[in-house]
């Protein structure tokens, strides 16, 4: 029986992932990820910093997110394989944590 990645990490590995030890990508406004270069998922969390940001995301487990707004400090968790950023309020940034 397939587990769809739900048991992908050991306890120690999941603790490392939640601490961001796999790294992150700082995403720019109005861009599609994965794109050329180093910004390729999967990502396990998306956090808005500085100000509000808008994005859509595709998920490998569960529903996709469409036209989602995050205020500064908000975090959404999931198994994201693609992110399309929309408009960011001045000084807004999205941080996508690799997983």
What six digits make up the tokens of 24? 């992150």
Question: Residue 60's CB: how many other CB atoms inside 10 A?
Answer: 14
Residue 29 lies in a domain: yes
The domain of 92 spans 23-98
Nearest by Cα to 95 from 44, 36, 37, 38 = 44
Q: What is the pLDDT of residue 3?
A: 53
Tell if the pTM clears 0.85, that is, is over it. no
Residue 49 lies in a domain: yes
Tally of structural domains, the chain: 1
Residue 13 lies in a domain: no
Residue 7 lies in a domain: no
Question: pLDDT tens digits for 18-77?
Answer: 667 788 899 988 888 887 666 777 899 999 999 999 999 999 888 999 999 999 999 999
């Amino acid at each position: 029986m397939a587990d769809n990645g739900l048991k992908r990490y050991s306890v120690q590995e999941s603790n490392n992932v939640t601490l961001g030890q796999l790294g992150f990508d700082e995403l720019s406004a109005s861009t599609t990820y994965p794109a050329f270069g180093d910004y390729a998922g999967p990502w396990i969390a998306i956090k808005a910093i500085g100000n509000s940001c808008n994005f859509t995301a595709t998920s490998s487990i569960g529903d996709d997110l469409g036209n989602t707004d995050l205020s500064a400090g908000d975090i959404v968790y999931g198994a994201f394989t693609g992110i399309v950023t929309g408009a960011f309020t001045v000084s807004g940034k999205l941080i996508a944590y690799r997983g």
